[in-house]
Amino acid sequence: MTDVAEHLLLHLETAARMYGGDLLLPVALLPVAPRPAIAPAVRAAAPAPPPARAIPAAPPPRPAPERITAPVAAATAAPVHAAPSDTIAAGGSLADLRTEVLACRRCKLCEQRKTVVFGEGNPTPPVLFVGEAPGAVEDRTGRPFVGPAGQLLDRILENAMGLRREDVFIANVNKCRPPGNRDPEPEEVAACLPYLRRQVELLRPRVIVALGRIAAHNLLGTQQPMRALRGRDLAYEGIPVVVTWHPAFLLRDPSHKRETWEDIKRVNRLLGRPDVPDAGGPGS
């Protein structure tokens, strides 16, 4: 706006105050305040995201613990017991098999035994008697069934069959005594059972008598109870098998002697012998 126009506007404003508000000012003369330029709308900036948390670097991998191994024994050192195989080498004689068994280290029973009990008797027996494992007396002497149970077996042979132990062959499933006379463990049976099978092949008895549950189960490959096995027509490799009570069980429970007497009569019939010899009976 020029100086003249400003002076005129001031004069008119003074006159308007003097004469009241009826004096109208020409619109054209009114000063028009310049409209402020509208600044372009500024879009509010979005709040800055918080600074990203720094991801800690993965810790370096921990070194694997050092494996501590026992010193390797010399190659010539004999293992305590070797992993058993299912079978042993065929061929050879009963004496050869005995030599092999006496040196056996196929299971952990070899660590505590005093001696190996291979078995004894007639090399061509009419009957093979099979028990479970040696006891303390057998472990000390190396002979099967020579303790109290063996003495009862001798009386059964003499009184119920008219035979002596020299006439038959007596052996066990396991050839070494389990500690404390416990039952042989499955791996111990698996290690020793091939020896018994080979004994049967070499002896070729006419009848096998399984003395007790463990002998019957492992010879026949069954888990049936004794009362289900006694009195049945059973066989191993074509050889008749008669299951009866173990003499040690009869010492604990003599009431089963009558059943054992009946089982031995079956053995006699299978051999073509009289059911009852000239002397003897269940009370022996």
Whether pLDDT at 70 is above 80: no
- Res 274: pLDDT: 94
Average pLDDT taken over every residue of the chain:
79
Whether pLDDT at 160 is above 90: yes
> Which pLDDT band, with edges at 50, 70 and 90, does 251 fall under?
very high
Number of alpha carbons in the 13 Å side-chain half-sphere of residue 27: 0
The domains of the chain, with CATH numbers, are 94-270 (3.40.470.10)
- Res 100: pLDDT: 97
Whether pLDDT at 15 is above 80: no
Whether pLDDT at 205 is above 60: yes
pTM: 0.69
What average pLDDT does this structure show over 13-31?
Answer: 46
Written in H, E and C, the secondary structure of 49-100 is: CCCCCCCCCCCCCCCCCCCCCCCCCCCCCCCCCCCCCCCCCCCCCHHHHHHH
Task: State how far the alpha carbon of 65 is from the alpha carbons of 61, 62, 68, 246, in Å.
Answer: 12, 9, 9, 54
Whether pLDDT at 2 is above 70: no
- Res 155: pLDDT: 97
Q: 134: Cβ–Cβ under 8 A, 6 or more apart, which residues?
A: 117, 144, 172, 174, 175, 176, 177
